[in-house]
Structure 1
Amino acid sequence: MDAPRLLVAWQDPRSRLIMPVGVLDQLSAGFSFAYLQRVLDIPGFRPLLGFEDLERRYESAELFPLFRQRLMDSRRSDYHRYLTILGLPEGAPALVVLGRSEGRRAGDSIFLMAEPKVDDEGRTSASFFVHGTRYKAGAESRISALHEGELLVLRDDKQNPVNSRALLVTHGGDELGWIPDLLLDYVHVVRDVGGMTIRVAQVNRGDVPPNLRLRVQLQGSVREGYLPFRGEEWATTA
C-alpha cells in the first residue's frame, strides 16, 4: 500500500475556515514537509510547532513529532480495532493511517487529507469519511441503516454560511453530512466531468466518533491535465 502525499491544513479559530498550509510527503529514506506559498498571505497564521521557518523544506529520517503524535501507538491493545474502524489492514504505512484518520486530535486546529489518486488515463478515486454528520438531525439512524455499496447522491449547499461551494452527501433525499472542505475543489471537478459515483464504503457502529461513522468511495474522471493539490496555487515556499 503506497503512502499518499498529505495536505496539511489549519483551522482559523475565529472564522472556523479550514485552510491548506503545507504538504507532508514520504521520501525514499524518510519524510519531508514544506509550507504552501499561500500561508504568507493568511492573517494571524503562526508557524506549526517544529516548523518555525516558513520558507524552509524540512526533511527527516523519522516522521516529524507533530505528525507522529497523531498516530495511535501500534502496541496498544485496541490498535487493531482502530485500523478496522479506518478500514485499513495491519501494517498500513503511517501516512496512509494519517490520511484516512485526518490526523485529528481533540481541541486541535490541524487536519490532514490524503491526495486523491489519478491515473494516466485521468481516472480517479478517493476514500474518505463524511464530515458533519452530528449536525444533521436523524443522520445517525439513517447512516446505521446503510449498506456497503449503496449509491449516494451529492447536493449543492449554496446557502452554507461557511462555504457556498459546500456539497451535501444524501441518500434517498436524506442529508447525511458534507464532503470535507479540503476535497471540495477536487469533487467539483470530478462531478463536472461526469460519470462520478459515490458509494458507501463502510459504516461504523455508533460508539465511534461522529467523524468516523460513514466512509465513502468516490470514483470518476478528471479533466485533462488536472491533478488534485497540484499546480501553481499549491506551490510550496521551498
Structure 2
Amino acid sequence: MSQLNRIPCFLLAAGRGERMRPLTDDLPKPLLRIQNKSLLEWHLEALAKTTIRDVVINHAWLGEKIEVALGDGKQFGLHIQYSPEASALETAGGICKALPILAPEDYFLVINGDVFSPNLPIAKILEVVSKMRVGSSKRLAHLLMVPNPVQHPEGDFYLEDSTVRDIGSAGAEKLTFSGIGIYHKDLFNDLEFGAPAKLAPLLRAAMEQNKVSGEKYSGPWHDVGTPQRLQELNAAYE
C-alpha cells in the first residue's frame, strides 16, 4: 500500500446530538451502535484498512466515555489522540483547535462521527491527495458529495466536473456534502484558536477562488440524525 497519500485523520465527535435524545442523554452520539459497533468503530475499522495510522478525535459532551471506549487505538492498529473541548467549537473551530495535535504536513482527512457509510472506499478517496499537491492553484479542500437524502432534498453545493461551487451553472447537479472531506491546513489560517467557527463560510470563500474539488459518491451513506433512523439502519444492516 503506497505511503504517498499517508495523511492524518480527524474524527468529529463533539456534537451534543440533541435530535438523538433521549439516547444521547448519557452517551455521546458517535458511540451509538449499529450492529453492535459504534459509529466511531465503523470509521476506525475502515481507516485501519488504509495507509492512515494517526487519528485525532475531538469531544465535548461526555467525551471521557469516548476515550474509555476507544483508548489509544491499538486494537485497531491505529494511534488515537484526543482533542477535548469544554464546549463544542463547531466543525471549523474544532479542527483549528486540533491542528497542533494532528500536525499535518499539508492535507488531512476529516470524517463526521455521526455519519454511517459502510464500505466507504477511503483508500480510493485518498488517491486525490497526490493530485491536490500539484498544479498552480493549490486546492484547499476536496469534498465527498452524495445524492440528496430525503431529509435534505435541497442539497448543499454544486459539482461541476471535479470542482465544487456554491453557485452552479445551468444544468449543474446540486448534491449534499457527506461530512467527509480532505482539507489543507491553510484553509484554517484565519481562525482564532479555541473559538467556535463554522466550516461552510471557509468552504464558500475557497470555492470563490476555485480551490475546492470534489467527487460524487453513490455508495451507502447515512446521516444518523434521529432515533428512528438509527433503528431503521440497525434493521436494514441486520
| TM-score bracket for this pair, using the shorter chain length | 0.3 to 0.5
Relative to the length of structure 1, the TM-score reads: 0.33
Give the structure with the higher percent helix.
2
**Higher relative contact order (CA closer than 8 Å, sequence separation 6+):** 2
Superposition TM-score, scaled by structure 2 size: 0.33
Higher strand share: 1
